[in-house]
Amino acid sequence: MYVCLCKGVTDKTIRRAVDDGLNSMRELRQQYGVGTQCGCCTQCAKEVVKDAVADR
């Protein structure tokens, strides 16, 4: 599912990025632009990053 519609980033993309070493929402924002337009995905994206880091 799409987490960030503005940037076209899915939960799968986020999970893959976390598997490849991404650690935080801050890095996700810098590398993928998640949350940098309308901002309404920020809370959901945070959760996905947190879950993915915990599952790593």
Interface residue list for ligand FES (CB under 6 A): 4-7, 34-41
* Smallest distance from ligand FES to CB 56, Å: 23
* Smallest distance from ligand FES to CB 46, Å: 12
Q: Which is nearer to ligand FES, 27 or 36 (CB)?
A: 36
Contact 14, 45 (CB under 8 A): yes
Q: Which is nearer to ligand FES, 7 or 15 (CB)?
A: 7
Which segments of the chain are extended strands (E)?
Answer: 2-4, 9-10
Amino acid at 35: G
